[in-house]
Structure 1
Amino acid sequence: MSYRDILVHLTLDPRNETRIQVAIAMARRFGARVSGLYTVPPPNVPYYMGEYIPTELIQKQMDEAQKASASARQSFLSICEGAGIEHRWLASDMAPVEALRLAVRASDMAIVGQPDPNPGNPASVPYGTDVLPQELALQAGRPVLAIPYAGQFGEVGRRVLLAWNGKREAARAVHDTMPILRGAEVVHLIVVAPEKKGRTPLAEIAEHLQRYGLRLETAVVDGGGQKVGLALMAEAQARNADLVVMGAFGHSRLREMVFGGVTETVLSNMTLPVVLSN
């Protein structure tokens, strides 16, 4: 098993190139093609204008959106051609989640950006990307690699923190990222200690992964009373990981939003790339 098609999301976002570089590094590693999917934002009409929407305003925004798309296309093609990798350009006027959901099902992985966790101006957040990693992880049927809002990242997946809790989503994440895990220098297989005493689900999955020849380091860690998501981020930093792999949304997304589930906590506090699978 390997990756042959990697999809990277592009939009009105200065972080486009960061995601492209991650996709290129992965493409080189696996001999994959990179597809750049640009989602064209719809016209943004201020709410105070009510029903009166000048045609000129709509047309001007549409023209600017197409100009931005053309600029992003030129940049993507130039970067990929310079890197010498197989690539193609895709564009869609659908909402990002919908466009990516359809495209990634014919790919192996989607690379998307973490939305700004603390936007000074919410209106500056690119259209449809405010909940993109969360929604896409639930709908894609493929692993979703989320790249943090801040920081520079090149090749990822050499030092992996693999979060394990024995649930279906975690098992999906293991399978979805096996090409990465098999090539990693080290895989830190981590279980955050359960509240109740008893045997952790660590032994069985460690034995299974060792059959693939993974360079494993296993540990059951005490979260110290903090949220599991924060404990995972702290462990990733302490172990100098460059990638976190985890199952996404063991509970409903609404419940996680209300009660602060692991996935929402990680995506709000991530400082390194995270692969989500559901």
Structure 2
Amino acid sequence: MRYCDILLHLTADKRSREKAATALALAKRFDARLQAIYTLPFPSQLYYMSEYVPPSVIDQQIEEAREEAEKVRNQFEQDARSAGVAADWAVTEQSPIAALRQLGTTCDIVVVGQSDPDRDRTVNAGLDALPADLALALGRPVLVVPYIGHYPQAGSTVMVAWNGSREAARAVHDALPLLKTAKSVIILCIDPDAAQTESAKALARHLAHSGIVAKVRHTTAGDMAVGDVLLSALADGNADLLVMGAYGHSRLRETVFGGVTATLLDSMTVPVLLSN
């Protein structure tokens, strides 16, 4: 089992090459084809100027955005050739969520970036919620790359956040190619009850049938939030990838982006594979 088609989202930000490096390494590992989709940012004046904006100003911003896209394309194609990865490139004026929902249904995994808290929020609106929106709506796993750090070989030590839920099971299944190539797999249970403890053992046995040796670890949250416990466990286990379900109800946005998912997406220290 492997990933054959990988979709990478790029846009106007300083982390484009780092995100591409992670996706290229993933494509190289699985001999997969990589499709990069670059979403052009909307002209920033449209978001904060109430007075008339001359068309020439908008045209200039669009031209500058396309020039930046071409620079990113040249670097991406050069890096793909150096890595020996078959790669395609496309540019769109669609919003990131619209473009990725359209293309993502026919790929095996989508690679996106964590939103940089210091970025200019007058452009590329919607990037903050993009990873969770995709994981909940797309039906494909979403690999989120942190906005800081370098992760060319993410997935050497994989930690699975396990509670026996449907979402967690879906995430494990979607991560199987990565689990098969990992050097170490840790199944982490936080404050498990008896049923969750047994399901973690059953998961380890199930993975063993696929040749994956996984260790089950239990920990307690105490006064800490579950998201913070996960972050601490990642550091203690020297994990370089977290696999977890994306939880919530699409009509209750505060639930979707509250709790564990929000903590991880805000404070992630390693790439996170989300699936719903």
Residues 35-89 of structure 1: per-residue CA shift (max 9 Å, x gap): 1110011222255632512111111111111111111111111111121111110
Corresponding residue for 1:187?
A: 185
Distance 1:251 1:228, change over 3 A: farther
Once the two structures are superposed, what CA deviation does each residue of 1:214-271 show, in whole Å capped at 9, x if it has no partner? 121111111122111111111111000010000001455623367x311111111101
In 2, distance between residues paired with 1:84 and 1:251?
41
Unaligned runs of 5+ in 2: none
d(CA) in 1 for partners of 2:47, 2:101: 29
Corresponding residue to 2:228 among 230, 242, 255 = 230
1:98 matched to 2:94? The reply is no
Retained in 1: the 8 A contact 2:248–2:256? no
Runs of 5+ consecutive residues of structure 1 not aligned to the other structure: none
Local SS of the residue matching 2:147? coil
**TM-fit CA distance, 1:182:** 1.1
Partner of 1:133: 131
The percentage of aligned residue pairs carrying the same residue is 41
**How well do the aligned residues superpose, as a CA RMSD in angstroms?**
1.8
Contact preservation (8 Å) 1:114, 1:148: yes
TM-score by length of 1: 0.92
Task: Tell me: CA distance 1:133–1:120, structure 2 relative to 1, closer, same or farther (3 Å).
Answer: closer
CA contact (8 A) 2:204 2:215 kept: no
Asked if structure 2 preserves the Cα contact closer than 8 Å seen for 1:23 and 1:34, the reply is yes
Letter in 2 for 1:104: G
- How many angstroms does 1:129 deviate by? 1.3
Q: 1:71 to 1:97 in 2, by over 3 A?
A: same
Tell me the residue number matched to 1:160. 158
Residue 19 (1) aligns with residue 25 (2): no
Length, aligned pairs only: 273
Quick one: structure 1 residues 47 and 69, their matched pair in 2 at CA, closer, same or farther if it must change by over 3 Å? closer
Distance 1:77 1:9 in 2: 14
2:96 and 2:49 map into 1 onto residues whose CA distance is 26
Structure 2 equivalent of residue 122 of structure 1: 121
Aligned to 1:254: 253
Shift in alpha-carbon separation, 1:47–1:172, aligned structure 2, 3 A: closer
Match of 2:60 in 1: 60
For residue 78 of structure 2, give the secondary structure of its aligned residue in structure 1. helix
- Partner of residue 4, structure 1: 4
Residues 74-122 of structure 1 show CA distances to partners (whole Å, capped at 9, x for unaligned) of 1111111121111110111100011011111111111110002x33753
Match of 1:85 in 2: 85
Counterpart-to-counterpart distance in 2, 1:275 and 1:45 = 35
Alignment pair present for 1:198 and 2:194:
yes
Distance 1:47 1:270 in 2: 29
Q: Matched residues in 2 for 1:48 and 1:242: separation?
A: 40
Amino acid at match of 2:73: R
1:204 CA displacement: 2.1
Over 3 Å counting, the alpha-carbon distance change for 1:221 and 1:48 in structure 2 is closer
Pick closer, same or farther for the CA change 1:251–1:166 going to 2, 3 Å: farther
Report what 2:34 is aligned to: 34
Q: Partner amino acid for 1:83?
A: A
Match of 1:110 in 2: 110
Report the TM-score, using the length of structure 2 for normalisation. 0.93
| 265-274 or 220-229: bigger deviation | 220-229
